């Protein structure tokens, strides 16, 4: 189990039951939980993300791998609560007000979780005030804003303005994404970063926190 090959294969192929079984075997064998997370789950999802970015696999395969990873992560969560695992950072994510699309957001959430970030997903149609409230409550390192419609993109700057008025803007990094969103738009609304897909979202998040 030291090289996590079977775990890697199971997650890569999206075989949830096998991946969970391999994670449990690693725990039962006394392997450090941090190693299971870093060298097993995160390393595998990094490889999956690279394949996705290169067009070697597509969204369905990525989702299956991400779901397998999520189920494995559930086994490790008690160790998070005990403080035995270090995380890359906390991310608060949601689809902005007026937009009910969540596939892209969900994929980004899963990839970030697979990369070792702690995720709080607020879902869809999230009001600026909700982002403000949860930012106060959770103190995230990064806020992720998603929009799939050009008509809902204006909710992004409204959310950023709400954070500014609440005195929270300088305490977080803001990353935006979605089909109609561009790097130019991110600069226009003073977001800190733009991610074009789930794979790049992980890289951008790490860069924002200076861990890449």
Number of compact structural domains in the chain: 2
Together in a domain, 22 and 77: yes
Range of lowest pLDDT (3-17, 103-117, 152-166, 185-199): 103-117
> Residue 90: pLDDT band by 50, 70, 90 thresholds?
very high
- From 64, 81, 98, the end of a domain falls on 81
- From 27, 53, 81, the end of a domain falls on 81
pLDDT digits (tens, 9 = 90+) for 127-165: 999 999 999 999 999 999 999 999 999 999 999 999 999
Contacts of 207 (CB under 8 A, 6+ apart): 193
Together in a domain, 94 and 154: yes
Together in a domain, 77 and 102: no
Joined together, the tokens standing for residue 96 give: 């902005």
- pTM for this model (two decimals): 0.75
Query: Strands, DSSP E only, in the chain?
Result: 90-95, 118-121, 142-146, 173-177, 193-194
- From 61, 81, 101, the end of a domain falls on 81
Segments forming the whole domain that contains residue 142: 90-208
Together in a domain, 131 and 66: no
Q: pLDDT at position 1, please?
A: 42
Together in a domain, 202 and 98: yes
Together in a domain, 14 and 57: yes
Distance CA 75, CA 144 (A): 26
The CATH number for 37's domain is 1.10.1240.10
The CATH number for 104's domain is 3.40.50.280
Burial of 68 (0-12, 13-18, 19+ CB in 10 A): buried
Together in a domain, 101 and 155: yes
Together in a domain, 193 and 117: yes
Range of lowest pLDDT (66-75, 82-91, 184-193): 82-91
92 forms beta bridges with 120, 143
Together in a domain, 75 and 137: no
Range of lowest pLDDT (53-62, 82-91, 121-130): 82-91
Together in a domain, 95 and 173: yes
Strand order in the sheet with 193-194: 118-121, 90-95, 142-146, 173-177, 193-194
Over range 179-200, report the average pLDDT.
94
pLDDT digits (tens, 9 = 90+) for 38-69: 899 888 988 888 888 788 998 889 889 988 98
Together in a domain, 109 and 143: yes
Together in a domain, 199 and 176: yes
First to last CA, the chain: 27
> Residue 103: pLDDT band by 50, 70, 90 thresholds?
confident
């Amino acid at each position: 189990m030291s090289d996590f090959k079977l775990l890697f294969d199971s997650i890569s192929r999206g075989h949830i039951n096998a991946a969970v079984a391999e994670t449990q075997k690693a725990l039962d064998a006394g392997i450090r939980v941090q190693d299971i997370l870093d060298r097993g789950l995160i390393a595998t999802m990094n490889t999956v993300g690279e394949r996705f970015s290169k067009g070697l696999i597509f969204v369905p395969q990525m989702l299956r791998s991400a779901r397998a990873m999520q189920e494995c992560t559930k086994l490790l969560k008690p160790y998070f609560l005990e403080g035995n695992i270090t995380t890359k950072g906390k991310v608060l994510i949601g689809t902005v007000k007026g937009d009910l699309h969540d596939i892209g957001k969900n994929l980004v959430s899963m990839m970030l979780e697979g990369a070792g970030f702690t995720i709080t997903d607020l879902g869809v149609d999230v009001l600026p005030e909700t982002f403000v409230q949860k930012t106060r409550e959770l103190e995230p390192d990064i806020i992720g804003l998603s929009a799939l419609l050009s008509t809902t993109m204006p909710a992004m700057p409204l959310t950023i303005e709400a954070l500014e008025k609440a005195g929270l803007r300088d305490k977080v990094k803001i990353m935006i994404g979605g089909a109609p969103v561009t790097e130019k738009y991110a600069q226009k609304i003073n977001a800190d970063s733009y991610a074009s897909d789930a794979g790049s979202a992980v890289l951008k998040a790490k860069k924002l926190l200076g861990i890449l």
